[in-house]
């Protein structure tokens, strides 16, 4: 049975990085109702343990699904997806789209045979990334680096604050300084926050390096899974829901408005 036309798509991330997935999805589904949920109380995910995230993410998504009754949920977070995707799918009775590092397209693009994977500390150490590398880049050199500072820098940039150039330099250097790193010609942005810093990362990496992420592919997957379902005739203002945090407040609505968000809630 098809969902009601006003049933939203739920996007979930630790912070604002998932907006880089929301944007391409709205381009394909312009009238889709949107709920964007950010776990500010748990940010940053990249420095949390696997056990903590495997428990936290399904529980929080369960609350969000109960509250907003979405037709589909997108875990717009590489760290949460690589650790908790199977747990979420087991717990919830609706389609779940995850976000995984774009290693397969990177392997097809590289000319030098050396790929860099730039993610959070938690993402780059996951067996899921080992498996992707073995399946799709078995004949390539895949170098990884977990940057603890890029998530914070991306959040700051989106809220109009200056980007610390040293954070960018350390992240790119963390790949380049590894044995064989000077041959990297494709860098996978394996965190949805990182495309928010694409210009800064590209400036340091240089014009010979291509940056790629999985946002367009995720958007196409959402469109495929909802093909034939009813949608409203016109777009309505979306909702952004933030878990309560003593350390950070939700961003101004003006920051979120370009993504179709018209209301902010705390949960």
**Cis upstream peptide for 254 (omega within 30°):** no
DSSP 3-state assignment of 141? strand
Q: Which residues does 221 contact at the CB level (< 8 Å), separation at least 6? A: 97
From start to end of the chain, where are the E strands?
Answer: 9-13, 34-38, 72-75, 96-97, 114-119, 141-146, 186-190, 210-212, 238-242, 261-266
Catalytic residue annotation: 77, 191
Task: Report the C-alpha gap between 228 and 208 in whole angstroms.
Answer: 41
Q: Which residues does 136 contact at the CB level (< 8 Å), separation at least 6? A: 103, 104, 107
DSSP assigned state of 7: P
Where would I find the H helices in 206-252?
A: 215-225
Task: Report the C-alpha gap between 166 and 72 in whole angstroms.
Answer: 39
For residue 111, give both structure tokens. 């000319």
Task: Report the C-alpha gap between 186 and 157 in whole angstroms.
Answer: 24
């Amino acid at each position: 049975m098809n969902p009601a036309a006003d049933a939203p798509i739920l996007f979930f991330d630790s912070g604002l990085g998932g907006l880089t997935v929301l944007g391409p999805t709205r381009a394909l589904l312009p009238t889709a109702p949107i709920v964007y949920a950010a776990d500010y109380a748990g940010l940053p995910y990249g420095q949390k343990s696997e056990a903590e995230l495997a428990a936290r993410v399904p529980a929080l998504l369960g609350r969000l699904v109960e509250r907003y009754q979405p037709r589909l949920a997108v875990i717009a977070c590489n760290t949460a997806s690589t650790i908790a995707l199977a747990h979420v799918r087991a717990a919830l009775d609706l389609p779940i789209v995850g976000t995984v590092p774009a290693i397969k397209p990177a392997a097809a693009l590289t000319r030098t045979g050396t790929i860099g994977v730039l993610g959070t500390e938690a993402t780059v150490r996951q067996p899921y990334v080992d498996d992707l590398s073995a399946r799709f880049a078995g004949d390539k050199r895949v170098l990884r680096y977990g940057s603890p500072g890029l998530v914070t820098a991306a959040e700051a940039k989106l809220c109009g604050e200056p980007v610390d150039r040293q954070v960018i330099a350390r992240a790119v250097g963390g790949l380049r300084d590894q044995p064989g790193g000077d041959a990297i010609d494709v860098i996978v942005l394996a965190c949805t926050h990182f495309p928010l810093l694409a210009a800064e990362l590209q400036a340091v990496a240089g014009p010979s390096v291509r940056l790629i992420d999985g946002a367009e592919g995720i958007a196409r997957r959402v469109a495929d899974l909802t093909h034939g379902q009813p949608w409203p005739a016109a777009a309505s203002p979306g909702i952004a829901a933030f878990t309560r945090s003593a350390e950070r407040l939700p961003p101004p609505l003006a920051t979120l408005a370009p993504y179709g968000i018209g209301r902010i809630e705390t949960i």
